[in-house]
Amino acid sequence: MNAADIANLINYAFVLFFGIIAAFYMADLPFEEHHRLYALTLPGFSAVQLMCYLLFGQTVVYKCYPLLIHLPLILLIRFVCHRNTYISIIAVLAAYLFCTPRKWFGTLIASFAGNDPMVSNIGAILITIPLLLLIIRYVAPCITRLQHESKMLLSLFMLLPIIYYILEYSFTVYTDLLYTGGAIVAEFMDSVIVILYFIFSMLSLEFSSQTHKAQQANVLLTAATTQAQKEIAQLSKSEQQAAIYRHDLRHHMNFLQSCIQENRKETALNYINEIYDDLERSRFTRYSANEPLNLILSFYADKASAGNIQTDIRITATDFTRFQIMDLCSLLGNAFENAIHACEQMEHPDNAYIKLKIYEKSNRLCINMVNTYSMEPVFENKIPVSHKSNHGIGVISMISIIEKYGGVYGFSASNGEFHFQVSM
């Protein structure tokens, strides 16, 4: 056995170590946590490969590599290490993919030495450790995260390594068509690249669309949850106030009874007027026949009043049966929230106001809200936007609700007034 044969044999050993270690790390089986696995697998596979190499020669081993090494390694990761089938296949095939730049580096070095095979083997051996460290440091963490992804995404990620694996063995191992096939093979490879590009592009767009829909649904759910919390808070406040009134009613009656018995009618009348004024200040405003709508509008009217913001709410519409009341409450709640926020930013909030009209026209529910502002709103595609964190969700929720009922909407700002109009 000459020096070239020894270099070739050592290169085969390095290829084996490189592939197994890279596959294990990409299957989330690091050496630090799986010493025994490495201690048994590396010598075991090495012994099998060496024995076949000595008995059958390099050519047979090269052609039998899928059955000799790759398939057993996939089965080992799947059934012994208990990784799912997708990850097992991806890890092994991805490791095989990285053998290509390793081999290319050896070929590049050999091109400066008359394409000497021994120089090629030495170059491939030298690049093995640095390339493996790069895979462990940067590639393996990305591959391991795939175990939490859907089967469809895993299938997509597995597609390219499988196609490359099949083409590599078909054109370079079992035949030499890649080097002798001429234009037919070259154009076939180009066609495969183009087809794969469009497959990945279409699937990527589909995934992007699904992700966008999921994000939008999450935004709507968040907005609905926030709105429900506000309504619950208002109900809780009303119930708490009612409990206080019930508790104080007995004391009020005792005091009035005492005044009447002592013939202190004027004191009793003044006391009754004070109670009436307190009730007026805390009364639940009925803007319409719809109680949940009254509840949410009262909540925001009180919030605006606390900030010295004038409100004018007029509702003449009577038929809300076509809409889910939660949708209407969410729509108006978000609109009011944005209006109050705009008014609070004014330098002179005493001049701030919010006007709301809800009426019916041509069997459609019409909403018209106007509020003052000082900070000029930013529009994109005629929709107000905010690039601040956790802002802009309300507008997205409002638009989704309007479109749900086939409505039309408009946002505009001029002369210090912001207008929001809806017909649905």
- pLDDT tens, residue by residue, 322-332: 998 878 888 99
Q: What is the pLDDT of residue 381?
A: 87
- The residues, ordered by sequence, that sit 6+ positions from 160 with a Cβ below 8 Å of its Cβ are 196, 200
- Contact of 353 with 312, CB cutoff 8 Å: yes
pLDDT confidence of 255, banded at 50, 70, 90?
confident
Tens of pLDDT, residue by residue over 259-301, are 888 888 888 888 788 877 766 555 557 889 888 888 888 888 9
Of 276, 309, 293, 287, nearest to 234 by C-alpha is 293
Give the number of other Cβ atoms within 10 Å of residue 394's Cβ.
23
- Continuous segment of H or E residues that includes residue 220: helix 183-261
Can you tell me the distance from the alpha carbon of 365 to that of 316, in angstroms, rounded to the nearest whole number?
A: 10
pLDDT at 65 over 80: yes
Q: What is the pLDDT of residue 42?
A: 96
Task: Name the 3-class secondary structure at 242.
Answer: helix
Domain boundaries, given as residue ranges, for the chain: 3-181, 185-283, 286-424
Q: What is the pLDDT of residue 137?
A: 96
Q: What is the pLDDT of residue 296?
A: 83
Q: What is the pLDDT of residue 129?
A: 96
Strand order in the sheet with 417-423: 310-315, 353-361, 364-372, 417-423, 408-414
Lowest model confidence (mean pLDDT) among 88-97, 165-174, 238-247: 238-247
Can you tell me the distance from the alpha carbon of 227 to that of 333, in angstroms, rounded to the nearest whole number?
A: 7
Can you tell me the distance from the alpha carbon of 25 to that of 17, in angstroms, rounded to the nearest whole number?
A: 12
- Contact of 135 with 98, CB cutoff 8 Å: yes
Can you tell me the distance from the alpha carbon of 59 to that of 41, in angstroms, rounded to the nearest whole number?
A: 23
Angle between helix 3-26 and helix 99-111 axes, rounded to 10 deg: 150
* CATH fold for the domain made of 286-424: Heat Shock Protein 90 (3.30.565)
Scanning 76-182, the segments in alpha helix (DSSP H) are: 85-97, 99-111, 117-134, 140-144, 151-168, 177-180
